[in-house]
Amino acid sequence: MSNKQTPAEFEKLTNFDKDEFMRRAHILGKLGEEDAMEADKYCRASSRVIQAIKAAQIADLWKPKAYGGLGADLKSYNEIIRTVSRYNITAGWLTYFYSIHEVWVGYMEPEGRDKVFNDGGLVADVLAPVGQVERVGDTYKLSGQWNFASGVLDAGWIGLGAVTQLPDGDAPEYCIFVLPVSDCEIIENWDVMGMRGTGSNGVLVKNLTIPSHMILPAGRVLGTGKPMGGNYDAAEPIYRMPFLPFFAGFFPTVALGGAERIVEEFQKRTENRVRVFTGNSSAVSTSSAPRVLAELKMRFFEMEGLVNRYQTQLEDWLAKDQITNTDEEKAMMFGLRGAIAKCAVDIAMQATQMLGGTALYKGDPVELFTRDLIVLSSHGSHLYEDAMTTYGGALFGGPAHPVW
């Protein structure tokens, strides 16, 4: 792993400063780009990227102000994630995850909130409800293996999904169990085609006691805008939007930044490319490259428009303090995420096929970004077929997806 030092120091901020955070986004993105192949080889972000994420106060962007949160806004946050992702998709993914995971922490019991926020460790999660729970008096014993825990190797805390019945509930319900990463066994099984730098390994928990204040009954709480136990500022943005569309709302931005980089790379290398099988002629004047570039640009503009539509909807809900949405609205946001992810992969594949052998070598930006975008598109929050089927059904009065 890299022994190089982070080449920048960041002043401690107490309020959000967009210009400063855009500067930090460029620095963080460049570090991710420089260390991309190291991260790809070792299946985790470089120490420099993690140090920069911590030093740049990325985790403070959505944290409640009472715990040192900076008060980011949706548009600026979107630009930060897009900027980092344009340099390196996995660095953009971790910038997003290590900031957005603070949101559900803000819904925990005050004692649990205090414990996680005051500790200062980065937060990971796997929200799939695959855990097994046994109640013992006032505590709960958690067991299970969860995969796809992005950034877990560098996190201090993790939230894990499971279903159990709580004392004040009348049926089993979906909960997030929050525990120190040190209480888990890390299963280093993240050896995949792309997004390797996210370090999305598995975690194993065996019969671990979890106190009640570290259990978030997410199924009943996250749709209310009211955290457990009160003691919160209702003016905070995280309590004034529908949780899931907000929480999953920046996967499209990561994809947008990655697709933007591929289009830039395609144009740059095509301008000076010659075709050896046609007498070293210019690719611009003797091939379909200009048409392909135009198509890539149009597809990218489509992506940009869909991302803007998604963000505008979040802003509208925030302005109205609307914390719930209809099945059709929820399904529409799922559909938008799915369409954006598919656009990104389409752009990557068309660019790769047109560039041919020049884009196939390991570590080439187009090769790396294409692999990353393919794997990004497989995340459950924006699987294209599921998204389209759900949204189409909702338009005819059917239900939204039970999760997404």
The contacts of residue 401 (CB under 8 Å, 6+ apart) are 330, 331, 334, 386, 390
Residue-wise pLDDT for 37-48, tens only, equals: 999 999 999 999
Torsion of CA 106, 109, 112, 114, to 10 degrees: 60
Question: Residue 2: what pLDDT?
Answer: 47
Helix (H, G, I), strand (E, B) or coil at 58: helix
Residue-wise pLDDT for 22-32, tens only, equals: 999 999 999 99
Residue-wise pLDDT for 123-180, tens only, equals: 999 999 999 999 988 789 999 999 999 999 999 999 999 999 999 888 999 999 999 9
Whether 189 has a pLDDT exceeding 90, the answer reads: yes
Question: Residue 170: what pLDDT?
Answer: 87
Written as one letter, the residue type at 269 is R
Residue-wise pLDDT for 370-400, tens only, equals: 999 999 999 999 999 999 999 999 999 999 9
Written as one letter, the residue type at 400 is A
User: Which candidate, 293, 292, 272, places its Cα nearest to that of 282?
Assistant: 272
Phi, psi of 228 (to 5 degrees): -65, 140
Q: Domains in the chain and their CATH numbers?
A: 18-105 (1.10.540.10), 123-221 (2.40.110.10), 243-395 (1.20.140.10)
DSSP notation for 128-169 = EEEEEEEEETTEEEEEEEEEEETTGGG-SEEEEEEEE--TT-
